Amino acid sequence: ILYTDYFLSNLIKILERQKNTESCMLYLSDHGENLYDDGKKLIFHGTPQPSIYEYHIPYLIWTSDLYNTNNQSIIKSIMLNKAKKASSTSTFSTLLHMANIRYNNSDSEQTNNLASDQYNEPKNRKILTGSGKIITVN
């Protein structure tokens, strides 16, 4: 976890040094970790009944000052949606929208886009457990 923080911090510093460049970075983990976080005394990930520590993962969006200036509606939507639940399924439409890349169905997928004012927070999320079972969590 500390190394990931270190790596992301250094990546942001590299991006910040790119003057007169619109840049954005999106990071999410594919899973979390149990670190004896509660009375269950679980460790690692991939348990048959995942704890919140396994599926409540980091989802980080960083943008440069120039990106913020030139994409104010996107930044406004991200800020509006930052406290909402998200899923890794939001990544594709969010990143493409942030890069101003459009495709045939992109307008219909804005409800999955964290950078859109049409984002619709998922009610349930699907998780693949360590035993290969798919479960639904809120």
- Confidence check: pLDDT of 93 > 80: yes
Q: How confident is the model at residue 54 (pLDDT cuts 50, 70, 90)?
A: confident
Close Cβ partners of 62 (under 8 Å, ≥ 6 residues apart):
12, 15, 24, 25, 26, 27
Task: Tell me how crowded residue 89 is: count the other CB atoms within 10 A of its CB.
Answer: 13
**Token pair of 28 as six digits:** 């999410």
Helix (H, G, I), strand (E, B) or coil at 17: coil
Verdict on whether the full-model pTM lies above 0.85: no
Residue 26 main-chain phi, psi, to 5 deg: -125, 130
Provide the strand spans (E) within the chain.
24-28, 34-35, 43-44, 59-63, 125-128, 134-137
pLDDT in tens, 97-106: 999 998 887 7
Kindly state the helix (H) or strand (E) to which residue 98 belongs, with its residue range.
Answer: helix 91-98
- The CA distance from 45 to 9, in Å, is 25
Q: Which residues of 21-35 are buried (b: 16+ CB within 10 A; e: fewer)?
A: ebebbbeeeebbbbe
- Confidence check: pLDDT of 121 > 80: yes
